Structure 1
Amino acid sequence: MLIIAEDEENFAFLSRYPTLFGSVLVAPKLHREHVVRDLPEDAFLRIMSLVHPVTRAVEAVVPSERTYVLSLGSQQGNSHLHRHVAPLPPGVPYREQQFHALMADNGVLPWSLPQAVELAERLRAALSTLD
């Protein structure tokens, strides 16, 4: 796991199987399953306070027409609460945007560990310059 940011309660890391280049997950360190009911309001706001700068860093590093920020998961699959930060590249046809762009069934990006490490370094550098 390539961590790009963390605080006492949450961390942000590159998606291991991205469908969009630059996809990051932001998750609590303690096991939580539901995006609202498992978090008191202050904890919800703290995770979002990490999502915000991470999203700004992603947008600074990766060309994007729009950035999706959402919570997906399933009790049948990945039940751990996480927020997706997924940058949609410019020029993607509308029929391939939104959920289509996020579905692993439509393919994941082939990339290497050195490419992931380089992207993580660029994202950390972008985070360090945010005001």
Structure 2
Amino acid sequence: MTIDRRPMDLDAYVERTQNGPCFVCAFLDGNPDYSHEKVFEDEDHVALLDRWPTLPGKVLVAPKAHIEHVVRDLDEAAYSRLMLFVREIALAVESVYPCERTYLYSLGSQQGNAHLHWHIAGLPSGVPYPQQQFHALMTENGVLSPPPDEAAQTAARLREAVDARGVLTRDDHL
């Protein structure tokens, strides 16, 4: 299987992450320059489609509060709730995009993308081994560019999959 990617303007991305507002907070505030397709949210967390996905159906999950350190800034209960949310969204991704492996990882730093967020990326079956793992996740190797209607449909399908599991309760304003 070959994943059709386009080059990403990494210089513009770095500029945006280091000098723009926090992308999660800007998204939650409704800033149109930081729009994403919302997949699901509860009182404390939000899941949204990655704006620059490297794999189909790639989702980001973040606490709504501006948290920067996954282990220092969350007590055990908050950490457990976040990880349950991540798990449920990952299971939804797997049900919509059957995959050989689901990658879960958290990136960012104090220099850019400081708001804690998890990446959920399902590796489709048949991707040659040299194109898996870090290669499959790095924007330096290109990104997918689904049209807006396709992204909206993906978000809707993922919402349905989360709802079908019945574990998470979404906010009424979604």
Superposition TM-score tier, normalisation by shorter sequence: over 0.9
* Moved segments of 4+, more than 6 Å: none
Aligned partner of 1:90 among 115, 122, 125? 125
For residue 48 of structure 2, give the secondary structure of its aligned residue in structure 1: strand
1:42 aligns with 2:77: yes
1:98-119 Cα shifts (integer Å, max 9, x gaps) = 1111110000002111010000
Q: In structure 2, what is the equivalent of residue 60 of structure 1? A: 95
- What is the SS of the residue equivalent to 1:20? coil
Instruction: Determine if the alignment matches structure 1 residue 4 to structure 2 residue 31.
Output: no
Is 1:100 equivalent to 2:128 in the alignment?
no
RMSD: 1.0
Give 1:82 deviation, angstroms: 0.3
Q: How many residues align?
A: 131
1:122 aligned partner: 157
Structure number with bigger Rg: 2
Structure 1, unaligned runs of 5 or more:
none
Give the percent of matched residue pairs that are identical in Structure 1 and Structure 2. Answer: 56
Q: Which structure 2 residue ranges, 5 or more long, are not aligned?
A: 1-35, 167-174
Compare the two structures and name the one with the higher strand fraction. Answer: 1
* Distance in 1, Cα, partners of 2:143 & 2:124: 15
For the residue of structure 1 that corresponds to 2:61, the secondary structure is strand
Give 2:51's aligned residue: 16
SS state at 1:49 partner:
helix
Match of 1:111 among 141, 146, 151: 146
Distance 2:132 2:108 in 1: 19
Aligned-partner Cα distance in 2 for 1:31–1:93: 38
1:41: how far off?
A: 1.0
